[in-house]
Amino acid sequence: MSESRMGSAAGLLLPNIRTRRSRLLALLTALSTLGLLATNLYLPSLPGLAADLQVGAADIRLTLTVFLAGLAISQLVVGPLSDRYGRRPVLLAGLALYVATSIACALAASVEMLLLWRVLQAIGACTGVVLVRAVARDLFEGAALTRAMAVIATLMASAPGFSPLVGGLIETVWGWRGNFWFVAAFGTVCLLLTLRWIGETNRTPTASIAVGRVGRTYMSLLANPLFLGPALATGFALAALFAYFSASPQLIIDVLGFTPLGFGLLTAGTVFAVFAGGAAGPRIARRLGATGTLSLGMAMMAAGAAAMALLFQAGEITLAGFLAPQILFLAGLGIVNPVGTATALQPFPQVAGAASAMLGFLQMAGGTLGTLLLTALPGAFPLTLPLTMGILALAGLAALLLCRALAAPAPVAAGS
């Protein structure tokens, strides 16, 4: 083939490669939102759900608690399964379970059955959450991995922002069951596209999934500061975020006086702060390094929470007193999440599934911690919300810096 024809062929292939990569990233992003979609879409429906099933608000909040718990614990199993049997079969099985249990949730006639289906729904959702990171780690390395995770994490962060708006509209037309039908339809589309677009990416499957071996893998990850530091940073960041999620309807609707639709619109608007942080994160990392970038993001989150607490304490419980600090907080989160995820997974290609699972466990366990701390912290609402967010952000920063110090090489003695 002549040189000119080879160049022409390459020119034709390159757009196809870019298209396939863009298509893959879009699907991975959609899969990564399965858990967040199932937690945030139905938030505007909680009052109607409680009234329809004739239970109290505390019982309905359990549907969120058990989902987060199931999402956290099941990730420890899904990751090793994908390391042993491959990403594709585990992902397809999880998506099928997600669709089936979403339909069951839509048909639930009691809160007890809804709680059961929510636990099983979380198991299905976690395959998307875990295996998206593992597939990305299989396919990308170095700066390309950081960019891919930045795209996925930034777009994934839009799910908590836009899903309450969509959920509020669905609640208005079809009621709370309509939200679960929407989730089932979304999962079905993801299942069909996964069948078509995602092949097996795990080229080096592990020989076994013996419990002892899996346990040792997890313990080795937790003992490694290179993993634990960025993993804890993202875990505490998401703990602060879920504390905000659990209290934001009460703050925005009950305290600030917004309607449910207004709540959805305001939440959707703040997502652009996460987009900005996610876009800036990889660029900042090239200048400051991973630890410096994560430290900056956690400091921004803590500063935003502190500013909100000071304004609330001074009696400025207003839209401006909430929104300006919250934008700073969310921009910091946008920096932390993709950079922390890529930094935690980068050194562990041979156990990418297990590393992704442990990272996901720490993140969802952090979400549970955030909601529990918000409830347990003494003081009056809404001041307890920014205090909780600030405490968690500072804890993440401290954990990151401590692990960084532990990972640093010991100084060489003079004359040695």
pLDDT tens-digit map of 110-165: 999 999 999 999 999 988 887 887 788 777 777 777 777 777 776 666 677 778 88
pLDDT mean over 344-364: 82
> 137 or 219: which carries more pLDDT confidence?
219
Of 341, 317, 173, 161, nearest in space to 254 by CA: 317
**Percentage of residues of the chain with pLDDT beyond 70:** 90
Note the pLDDT of residue 354.
76
pLDDT digits (tens, 9 = 90+) for 367-413: 888 878 887 888 888 899 999 999 999 999 999 999 988 876 544 44
Rounded to an integer, what distance in angstroms lies between the CA atom of residue 119 and that of residue 64?
10
Give the burial class of 111: count Cβ atoms within 10 A of its Cβ; 0-12 exposed, 13-18 middle, 19 or more buried: buried
CB atoms within 10 A of CB 85: 17
Question: Can you tell me the mean pLDDT for 173-179?
Answer: 91
294-303 per-position pLDDT tens digit: 999 999 999 9
Residue 284 pLDDT greater than 60, yes or no: yes
Question: In the block, which residue shows the tokens 């893998």?
Answer: 217
Distance in Å from the first CA to the final CA of the chain: 61
28-49 pLDDT per residue, tens: 889 988 988 898 888 778 777 8
Element (H, E) at 397: helix 384-407
Q: Is the pLDDT of residue 322 over 80?
A: yes
Whether the pLDDT of residue 200 is over 80: the answer is yes
**Average pLDDT of the chain, as a whole number:** 84
Q: H-type helices in 33-110, by residue range?
A: 34-40, 46-53, 57-85, 87-107
Rg (CA), the chain: 22
Of 34, 35, 30, nearest to 193 by C-alpha is 30
- Tell me what pLDDT residue 13 has: 42
Where does the pLDDT of residue 26 fall: very low under 50, low under 70, confident under 90, or very high at 90 and above? Answer: confident
Kindly tell me the sign of the dihedral angle through the C-alpha atoms of 63, 302, 157, 281: negative
pLDDT at 10 over 50: no
Task: Please tell me the distance from the alpha carbon of residue 100 to that of residue 94, in angstroms, as a whole number.
Answer: 10
What are the distances in angstroms from CA 161 to CA 190, 234, 248, 401?
A: 20, 18, 11, 30
Give the closest residue to 221 by CA, choosing from 93, 105, 79, 116: 79
Q: pTM of the prediction?
A: 0.75
Q: Average pLDDT for residues 165-174, to the nearest whole number?
A: 86
